[in-house]
């Protein structure tokens, strides 16, 4: 398949998904360190982009398992969960918001060698809120040292709670500085963003490498 034909097919696929694709133009996600589906959509604009299978097999698998998880990369949330999220969202389903939207985001829970962002022990979370929902808080978790997210799905007991921020007014970007110690190698940062306009919580998994 030529690149031109692949692009045309991807455009045709978008035309078939007008209702599902809509949420991609609202809401938000963590753009740095990039979440799993944000990283995929920025690196690979359609399911069979040349080189994806060889260079980025987790994105290739995710694209083919659920293209909607990419087209709707800003809509990885669940509504009306309350605050006892550790008992509402099952282990192994944290990166998909408990298999929200009928399992649309299930590929985000796949363990494997996801592309990582290199960070230091002190880093900044940058969340982009295109819809300007505001934030009641951001909760930041990091997988425990010794846990390997490339071979195991993430459970709540695999996470260290790092911090919870205060409220943010409605704006495009919410940033918070994070200070850590004792982490090295591959980890996943889980950012939970509670939007202010309703009980809407985003579950945002970013693969990182602590240098």
Domain boundaries, the chain: 3-210
Q: Is the pLDDT of residue 57 over 80?
A: yes
Q: What is the mean pLDDT of the chain?
A: 90
d(CA 192, CA 140): 7
What's the CATH number of domain 3-210, 3.20.20.240, 3.50.50.60, 2.70.50.50, 3.30.410.10? 2.70.50.50
Report which of 11, 203, 189, 54 is spatially closest to residue 116, judged by C-alpha positions.
189
pLDDT, tens only, 112-127: 999 999 999 999 999 9
Q: Report residue 36's pLDDT band, with 50, 70 and 90 as the boundaries.
A: very high
Start-end of H helices in the chain: 3-16, 18-21, 36-43, 52-55, 57-65, 68-71, 85-88, 100-103
Per-residue pLDDT at 23: 40
Q: What's the whole-model pTM score?
A: 0.88
Q: How far apart are the first and last CA of the chain?
A: 39
pLDDT, tens only, 80-113: 999 999 999 999 999 999 999 999 999 999 999 9
Please state the rounded mean pLDDT for residues 61-74.
Answer: 94
Report which of 100, 103, 123, 126 is spatially closest to residue 202, judged by C-alpha positions.
100
Dmax (CA) of the chain? 50
DSSP string, 153-179: ---GGGEEEEEE---B-S-SEEEEEEE
Per-residue pLDDT at 22: 38
Q: Report residue 209's pLDDT band, with 50, 70 and 90 as the boundaries.
A: very high
């Amino acid at each position: 398949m030529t690149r031109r034909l692949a692009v045309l097919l991807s455009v045709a696929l978008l035309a078939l998904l007008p209702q599902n694709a809509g949420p991609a133009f609202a809401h938000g996600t963590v753009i740095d360190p990039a979440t799993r589906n944000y990283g995929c959509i920025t690196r690979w604009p359609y399911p069979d982009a040349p080189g994806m299978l060889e260079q980025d097999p987790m994105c290739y698998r995710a694209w083919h398992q659920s293209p909607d998880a990419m087209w709707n990369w800003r809509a990885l949330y669940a509504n009306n969960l309350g605050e006892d999220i550790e008992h509402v969202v099952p282990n192994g389903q944290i990166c998909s918001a408990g298999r929200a939207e009928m399992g649309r985001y299930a590929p985000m829970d796949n363990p494997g060698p996801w592309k990582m962002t290199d960070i230091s022990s002190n880093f900044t979370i940058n969340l982009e809120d295109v819809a300007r929902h505001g934030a009641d808080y951001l909760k930041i978790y990091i997988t425990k040292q010794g846990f390997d997210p490339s071979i195991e799905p993430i459970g709540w007991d695999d996470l260290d709670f790092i911090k919870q921020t205060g409220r943010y007014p409605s704006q495009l970007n919410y940033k918070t500085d994070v200070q850590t110690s004792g982490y090295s190698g591959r980890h996943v940062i889980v950012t939970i963003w509670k939007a202010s306009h309703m009980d809407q919580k985003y579950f945002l998994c970013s693969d990182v490498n602590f240098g």
